[in-house]
A and B are shown apart, each in its own frame.
Chain A
Amino acid sequence: MISPVLLFDLLLGLSLLWLAWRTLAAHTLFEACVSFIVFGLLMALSWVRLDAPDVALAEAAVGAGLTGVLLLGALERAERARVEAAPGPWWRRGAGLSALLLFLLLAAALITLPPRPPLPLQEALPLAAAEHPVTAVLLDFRAWDTLLESAVLVLAVVAAWSLERSVSPPRPAPVCSEVLRSLVRLLLPFSILSAGYLLWRGGHAPGGAFQAGTVLAAAGILLLLSDLRRPFDLRRGYWPLALLSGLLLFIAVALGTLGYGGTALDYPPGGGAALVLLLELGLTVTIALAFIALFSSGRSRGDE
Chain B
Amino acid sequence: MVHDPFKDSASGKTLSAPPSPSDYMKDSVFRSFAYLCALSIILLLAYIVFELGSQALPAIKEHGLGFITGTTWDTNQNEFGVLPEIWGTLYSSLLALLIGGGLGVAIAIFLTQGFMHAKIEVMFRTIIELLAAIPSVVYGLWGIYVLIPLIRPAAHWLHETFGWFPLFSTDLSGPGLAPAALVLAIMILPTVAAISADAFRRIPYKVKEAAYGMGATKWEVILKVMLPTASSGILAGLVLGFGRALGETMALAMLIGNVNDISVSLFAPANTLASLLASTFPEAGEIEIQALMYASLVLLLITFVVNVAGLAVQQYTMRKFEGKK
The answer to whether A binds B is: no
- Report which A residues bind B (CB closer than 8 A): none
- Report which B residues bind A (CB closer than 8 A): none
